[in-house]
Structure 1
Amino acid sequence: METMVIGIAGGTGSGKTTLTDRLKRHFGDDVSVVYHDNYYKSHDDLTYEQRCDLNYDHPDAFDTDLLIEHLAALRAGEEIDCPVYDFTVHNRSDKTLRIKPSRVLLIEGILIFQNRALRDLMDIKIFVDTDADVRLLRRLSRDVKERGRSLDSVVTQYLSTVKPMHEQFVEPSKRAADIIVLEGGHNNVALDMIIQRVERHLAGNEK
């Protein structure tokens, strides 16, 4: 059976990961997940302070070509060693994550619909659409609690790069979506529809 590739995009804090996690929990080993965030480019040549000043919300911040290569390998039945990004130091770690091929691949990230070559590998494109104020509050909470960031640094980054890059790249990419889901994984109606579509694929019935 061919691998189904599902892209889950949306702004920072929109609920992409919640939707991805719920699908993964539901289907278990039938689903593998690849996060675009892990493909941020390595910057070993820069100091921590210099890395803090980079624009991480522009498409050029990602090694998307490597992600495309890895997706092709997974679809061909090969395992990959996915890079692992460490947000606390703004750089790739020295670790990798072994990902096995599966019948369904979930690709998650804010900018995965912006790249045409990456987008064309996806069978279903889902955009998670959530109010900007809600997204900002979620990002503040996540970055301070989970990534060791100060409140001021998160707000500064949001105003200087996150918000303008969202408006320039993320929001326009919504036009490429097949499905727009409000509130991400908390939208049970949309989640049930997606689950049913995946179940048809796993059963070998695409109609």
Structure 2
Amino acid sequence: MELDETMLEEMRKTILPEIKAAAEDALRAHSAAERPGGENFSDNWVLGCACWRILFNRLNTRLEKHSFFKKKVSRNVMEISCPNGDELFAFYVYRVNDDLRIPRGAKSIKVYLEQQLWLSDEIKSSALAQSSGVNIIGYDISIESGLGNITLDRLCASGKNKFESVPLYDFSTPEQMPDSMTKQSEKIAASIVSSTPEEISKPAVNMDNAEEHAKKFNG
């Protein structure tokens, strides 16, 4: 998949700052939860949920009537689209594990991908199915390490409850990760380790007709 440099630059200018700002807010919240004596009962799950919600709120506000990015929100699932050259590029923003780059939550997206495995042979052999999967801007964050890498990946299903992530682009160069974030990560922490609120939300699309969904996501 060819990625237009204009699209990547717009992601750097608009999406990445919101991820970093949400992480900083969550880090501060975690630090503020520390009680006298050093006890802190705000664990990775609590901090992760806070980070997810802050990021959702920030993107929901920043992308309202945005000149480049368009958003579609349904039951706390946000699909973002933008031009990629002459094509339309749709993606989601999720917290992922740091090695495999698989979203921790994103249950509705995973259900959709699993349903692609059961498409008819005719659809599977089409050009639509050959490009099956969804695009994810993924960030990893933990109490121990703070905000880690930010990447653009293609998430696909390889079986029941089995997913693989194909790397498309890595935003996490030293230029994109300022020293302030590194220092902040060393002082305080935040994490999204377990399921996020997204997991209990309904899909952003109606899952009744898998073949139509394939056309929507891949057409």
TM-score when scaled to structure 1? 0.30
Larger RCO, structures 1/2 (Cα 8 Å, 6+ apart): 1
**Which structure has the larger Rg over C-alpha atoms?**
2
TM-score when scaled to structure 2? 0.29
Higher helix share: 1
